[in-house]
Amino acid sequence: MNPNELKRLAPAPRAAASSKLAAAGLSDAAARGGLLDVALATVGSPLGDLLIAVTPRGLARLAFDLESRDDVLGELADRLSPRILESAAVTADWRRELEEYFDGQRIRFGLRVDRRLLSPFVRRVMDETARVPFGRTTTYGAVAGRIGHPRAARAVGTALGSNPIPVVLPCHRVLRAGGSLGGYAGGLDRKTILLSLEGALTL
């Protein structure tokens, strides 16, 4: 049988698979050409699917599935760059670290974080929160005191609620005085799961 007959008999590739390959090729080419500013990927987790956005500076956004994808993409386009594509290659290292964390194989993240979506005050709060070790917790008031605003516990709570990179910048480790969970932008069920995963809370 000649090669032309083999080609004729071979099953046609599925359109979905073909389009995925084309999209992967496009994002890889864009990354190589310096035309991809924000790379997207979805990561499965005990919290549900997470949408992550990675720039050349690091992880810029992590969104829970309760957030509108269109709203997240609009925020990224407005505040970072409209050059956004899904890319398995560009996001591979962050996907790996997150999967290791959720599998209980990682207690700290080692890759860079892009903090451009944080306001100056939120950045101060998150920098202090990032010092809380895996498996430990602190309080809103304690964070407020450590950033030099001891009466700003409510403002700290608001800042934590606007954290664009939850899980990695561990706002879940901050509780109310007395040990109650307080709030969490992803919902208290997710906060409970994260604290339990880290051994800071027994279900």
What residues are labeled active site? 171
Q: Rounded to an integer, what distance in angstroms lies between the CA atom of residue 140 and that of residue 136? A: 14
Cβ-count burial of 143 within 10 angstroms (0-12 exposed, 13-18 middle, 19+ buried)?
buried
Do residues 126 and 159 make contact, with C-beta atoms less than 8 angstroms apart?
Answer: yes
- CA 156-162-163 angle, 5° bins: 90
Q: Rounded to an integer, what distance in angstroms lies between the CA atom of residue 93 and that of residue 43? A: 12
- Quote the distance between the C-alpha of residue 34 and its chain's center: 22
24 is written with which tokens? 């992967």
Residue type, 126: M
Cβ-count burial of 45 within 10 angstroms (0-12 exposed, 13-18 middle, 19+ buried)?
buried
- Between the two ends of the chain, the Cα-to-Cα distance in Å is 65
Do residues 65 and 48 make contact, with C-beta atoms less than 8 angstroms apart?
Answer: yes
Q: What is the CA radius of gyration of the chain?
A: 21
